[in-house]
Amino acid sequence: MAPIAVGASLPEGNLHWFDKSDQLQSVSVHALAKAKKVVLVGVPGAFTPTCSMQHVPGFIQSAEELKAKGVDEIFVISVNDPFVMKAWAKTYSENKYVKFLADGSGNYTKALGLELDLSEKGLGSRSRRYAILADDLVVKVSNIEEGGAFTVSGADEILKAL
């Protein structure tokens, strides 16, 4: 399947997270993104070096600027379970706006056409690194990395596009 491109609609799918009452929740991506400007930040894995030290921190540090430019929500999505995503989110005590969502089965990642086989590294099927800007479910920016690169999917690239 070809990766999602500019002009395409975000596919429907469900992601998972723990709410403030520590209850596991399932949410439709369409419910999260309809009539909103959102950034989807895809990462190969929670706690992995590039994701944890560069990619995600960039969005946390730029969240207020992104919001000032009209972004309603910022979601980090990984093919990890919601328990791992909850633990990873807790490592960013300065985070006020970025939400961490689990795509445990990788079904949403596959629907985006962004799966990445990292079996040779012992990680199995994961997500390519990406940043997607969507407005009312329509993709406006689709910055997708090749392999393990981190060159086009940072917060700075989304800020430039706004």
Residues annotated as part of the active site: 51
Q: Dihedrals φ, ψ of 119, to 5°? A: -60, -35
Phi-psi region of 147 (alpha: psi -120 to 50; beta: other; left: phi over 0): left
Two tokens at 63?
Answer: 């969240």
Tell me the CA end-to-end span of the chain in Å, nearest whole number.
28
Q: Dihedrals φ, ψ of 102, to 5°? A: -100, 135
Task: Report which residue type is found at 140.
Answer: K
Residue 96 to residues 73, 140, 151, 159, Cα–Cα distance (Å): 11, 25, 25, 18
Cβ atoms < 10 Å from Cβ of 149: 12
C-alpha 104/C-alpha 142 separation (Å) is 22
